[in-house]
């Protein structure tokens, strides 16, 4: 089997969006599966719409997703002379001809066709100009484009690895432009010249390019080049079944990074947009994706972008990744929230890793480590009003919890087990349900109604913070009516 060589060829007229990233991923997985080469090509011939910032954004998105390329980036804007040379070669061989029709005359003909309700196709006015006439017009500085001479009869066929055999009548294909009047190559010319030069074996790209393929196959043939295999991947639709766009939320890949998705999860999610391993496995490591990826697994039907599934995958990855792997990401979040302390990478590292393990099972996005972790790292956390309303209403808690605090304070060893045994025997002694104390403690210790297991929370906070916060029940429960005191802000010693 010849070497597998695939490419990702974004136009840097926008950031790396979900559809582009999915195309890049499929190419990358295919290359890695076959130990082939993945080439990055930047299609920046449209100088007005391309920008260096967009190129940088695309590279950043690819790096975030771990899609490393083996060759490139190759910039088409640096190869213009080469496209012109190839265009001349086609002209010399009689496969292309200059067309002097003015923009105005073509527009008028197109309009007339629209009025008559017949499909417009370039009518071949300049197709058979004699060499002398061409010379004369050129001498008169008459502007021209270069058109490809599409054979006037027969069929063009190619087989798509996803969509199957496709054929078109040549009569329906117009003599398309290869070089514009300013000497710039069109997409068809540059893409085929590059794919030939780069010895691309498989063109894997969005299904929106399927209609371009017949023209490109004609070009390969005219250049006497081997036609690659094509695999067009289905479109991605938003949940409302219209084509995925900015309307459906952030579509640039780096925006997902910024929202706190993990690259592993996002990659897994992208892989499932239009491909399946043949069974209902959804969560797959990168090694597994590489192992299982095949063009046969690509679906014909459009893929639907499901944000819920992405969030689910992300939470799955968060809860299963080792704390050490999450540490740098959580550090960045904590730093951003002003909650980071160098000691968490130093003498308190083991404790901090324990905290990550405690929080990760409930995290959906990286910022959840901040919202759920704040009470462990700082005394400046808020008590959620609805949690207070639900679990701190019972007036007896104002006495029960400080008493419980005294018991916990007296423990010679403060662990998950001793804290639990103490709370349960205390509940029995005072003839209250343990749940009453547990729920109220959770709200006081974390500010939230939902948090990890209360005894893990206590052990993580440590004896002194736990007892200190439980004593605050005398202010937090019933407020001024009970103790007659106004509550000091959390964090101030009582
Ligand atoms: N530059 C084209 C695009 O961004 C891709 C061309 C191709 O893959 O053939 O849509």
- Enumerate long-range contacts of 310-314, CB under 8 Å, 24 or more apart: 310/256, 310/261, 310/265, 310/266, 310/269, 311/364, 311/365, 313/265, 313/268, 313/269, 313/282, 313/283, 314/260, 314/261, 314/262, 314/265, 314/266, 314/364, 314/365
pLDDT cut 70: percent of the chain above it? 96
Shared domain for 355 and 339, answered yes or no, is yes
User: Is residue 229 included in any domain, yes or no?
Assistant: no
Note the pLDDT tens digit of each residue in 346-401.
999 999 999 999 999 999 999 999 999 999 999 999 999 999 999 999 999 999 99
- Integer CA distances (angstroms), 451 to 323, 371, 384, in order: 18, 11, 12
Residue 491 reports pLDDT greater than 60: no
Sheet strand arrangement including 155-160: 164-169, 155-160, 229-233, 202-206
- CA-CA distance, 388 to 483, in Å (whole number)? 17
State residue 489's pLDDT score. 55
User: Considering the entire predicted model, what is its pTM?
Assistant: 0.90
Note the pLDDT tens digit of each residue in 128-174.
998 888 989 888 888 899 999 999 999 999 999 999 999 999 999 99
Shared domain for 346 and 398, answered yes or no, is no
What SS3 state is found at 304? strand
Q: What is the mean pLDDT of residues 45-62?
A: 93
| CATH classification at residue 97 | 3.90.800.10
Residue 477 reports pLDDT greater than 90: no
State residue 478's pLDDT score. 66
| CATH classification at residue 266 | 3.40.50.620
User: Is residue 57 included in any domain, yes or no?
Assistant: yes
Q: Is 370 exposed, middle or buried (0-12, 13-18, 19+ CB in 10 A)?
A: buried
User: Is residue 225 included in any domain, yes or no?
Assistant: no
User: Is residue 402 included in any domain, yes or no?
Assistant: yes
Looking at 293-396, list the stretches that DSSP marks H as alpha helix, in order from N- to C-terminal side: 307-320, 323-336, 349-360, 367-377, 385-391
State residue 248's pLDDT score. 79
User: Is residue 261 included in any domain, yes or no?
Assistant: yes
Shared domain for 292 and 314, answered yes or no, is yes
Residue 300 near residue 234, CB atoms below 8 Å: yes
Shared domain for 304 and 327, answered yes or no, is no
- CA-CA distance, 420 to 398, in Å (whole number)? 20
Q: Which of 280, 301, 320 is the last residue of a domain?
A: 320
Residues comprising the chain, all counted = 494
Residue 66 near residue 286, CB atoms below 8 Å: yes
pLDDT cut 90: percent of the chain above it? 87
Within 6 A (CB) of ligand 1 lie 9-11, 43, 191, 205, 209
Note the pLDDT tens digit of each residue in 112-122.
999 999 889 99
- Residue 466 CA to ligand 1 center (angstroms) comes to 59
pLDDT bucket at 484, cuts 50 / 70 / 90: very low
C-alpha angle 88-93-98 in degrees, rounded to nearest 5: 50
Shared domain for 242 and 287, answered yes or no, is yes
Shared domain for 19 and 29, answered yes or no, is yes
Shared domain for 357 and 390, answered yes or no, is no
Helix axes 416-430, 434-446, angle to 10 degrees: 130
User: Is residue 204 included in any domain, yes or no?
Assistant: no
- CA-CA distance, 70 to 396, in Å (whole number)? 68
| CATH classification at residue 478 | 1.10.10.350
User: Pick the catalytic residue: 121, 155, 215, 246?
Assistant: 246
- CA-CA distance, 125 to 108, in Å (whole number)? 14
User: What is the tally of structural domains in the chain?
Assistant: 4
Q: Give the structural domain span for 332.
A: 322-371
Shared domain for 85 and 175, answered yes or no, is yes
- Residue 43 CA to ligand 1 center (angstroms) comes to 7
- The β-bridge relationship of strands 145-148 and 96-99 is antiparallel
Q: Which of 320, 341, 361 is the last residue of a domain?
A: 320
Shared domain for 96 and 33, answered yes or no, is no
Lowest mean pLDDT segment, chosen from 126-140, 196-210, 364-378, 452-466: 126-140
- Which residues, at least 6 apart from 348, have a Cβ–Cβ distance to it below 8 Å? 341
Q: Is 37 a catalytic residue?
A: no
Shared domain for 246 and 334, answered yes or no, is no
Shared domain for 65 and 94, answered yes or no, is no
Residue 485 reports pLDDT greater than 80: no
Q: Which of 135, 152, 179 is the last residue of a domain?
A: 179
What SS3 state is found at 309? helix
| Top mutation candidate among 10, 43, 50 for ligand 1, by most atoms within 8 Å of CB | 43
User: Is residue 186 included in any domain, yes or no?
Assistant: no
State which ligand 1 atom lies nearest to the alpha carbon of 208.
10
State residue 142's pLDDT score. 84
User: Is residue 201 included in any domain, yes or no?
Assistant: no
* Preceding omega of 36 cis (within 30 degrees of 0): no
Q: What b/e sequence results for 199-234 when a residue is b if at least 16 CB atoms lie within 10 Å of its CB, and e otherwise?
A: ebbbbbbbbebbebbbbbbbbbebbeeebbbbbbbb
pLDDT bucket at 298, cuts 50 / 70 / 90: very high
Shared domain for 47 and 117, answered yes or no, is no
| Top mutation candidate among 187, 190, 207 for ligand 1, by most atoms within 8 Å of CB | 187
């Amino acid at each position: 089997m010849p070497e597998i060589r695939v490419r990702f060829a974004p136009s840097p007229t926008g950031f790396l969006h979900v559809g582009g990233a999915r195309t890049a991923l499929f190419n990358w997985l295919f290359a890695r599966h076959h130990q082939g080469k993945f080439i990055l090509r930047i299609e920046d011939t449209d100088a007005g719409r391309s920008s260096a910032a967009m190129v940088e954004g695309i590279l950043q998105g690819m790096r975030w997703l771990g899609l490393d390329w083996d060759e490139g980036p190759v910039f088409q804007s640096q190869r213009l002379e080469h496209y012109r040379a190839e265009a001349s070669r086609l002209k010399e061989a009689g496969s292309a001809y200059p067309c002097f029709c003015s923009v105005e005359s073509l527009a008028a003909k197109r309009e007339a066709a629209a009025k008559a309700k017949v499909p417009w196709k370039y009518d071949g006015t300049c197709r058979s100009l004699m060499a002398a006439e061409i010379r004369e017009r050129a001498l008169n500085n008459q502007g021209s484009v270069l058109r490809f001479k599409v054979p006037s009869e027969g069929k063009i066929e190619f087989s798509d690895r996803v969509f199957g055999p496709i054929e078109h009548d040549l009569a329906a294909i117009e003599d398309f432009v290869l070089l514009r009047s300013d000497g710039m190559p069109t997409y068809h010319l540059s893409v085929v010249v590059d794919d030939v030069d780069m010895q691309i074996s498989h063109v894997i790209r969005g299904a929106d390019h399927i209609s371009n393929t017949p023209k490109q196959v004609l070009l390969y043939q005219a250049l006497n080049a081997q036609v690659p295999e094509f695999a067009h991947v289905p479109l991605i639709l938003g949940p409302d079944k219209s084509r995925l766009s900015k309307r459906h939320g952030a579509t640039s890949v780096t925006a997902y990074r910024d929202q706190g998705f993990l690259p592993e999860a996002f990659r897994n999610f992208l892989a499932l947009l239009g491909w399946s391993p043949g069974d209902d496995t959804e969560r797959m490591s990168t090694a597994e994706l590489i192992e299982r990826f095949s063009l046969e697994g690509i679906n014909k039907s459009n893929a639907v972008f499901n944000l819920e599934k992405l969030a689910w995958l992300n939470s799955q990855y968060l809860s299963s990744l080792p704390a050490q792997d999450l540490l740098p990401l959580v550090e960045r979040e904590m730093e951003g929230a002003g909650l980071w302390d160098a000691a968490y990478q130093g003498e308190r590292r083991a404790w901090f890793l324990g905290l990550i393990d405690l929080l990760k099972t409930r995290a959906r996005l990286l910022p959840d480590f901040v919202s759920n972790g704040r009470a462990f790292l700082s005394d400046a956390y808020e008590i959620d009003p609805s949690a207070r309303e639900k679990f701190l209403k019972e007036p007896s808690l104002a006495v029960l919890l400080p008493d419980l605090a005294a018991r916990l304070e007296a423990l010679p060893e403060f662990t998950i087990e001793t804290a639990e045994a103490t709370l349960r025997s205390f509940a029995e002694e005072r003839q209250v349900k343990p749940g009453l104390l547990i729920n109220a403690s959770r709200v006081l210790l974390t500010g939230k109604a939902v948090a990890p297991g209360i005894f893990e929370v206590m052990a993580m906070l440590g004896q002194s913070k736990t007892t200190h916060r439980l004593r605050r029940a005398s202010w937090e429960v019933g407020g001024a009516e009970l103790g007659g005191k106004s509550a000091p802000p959390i964090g101030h010693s009582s």
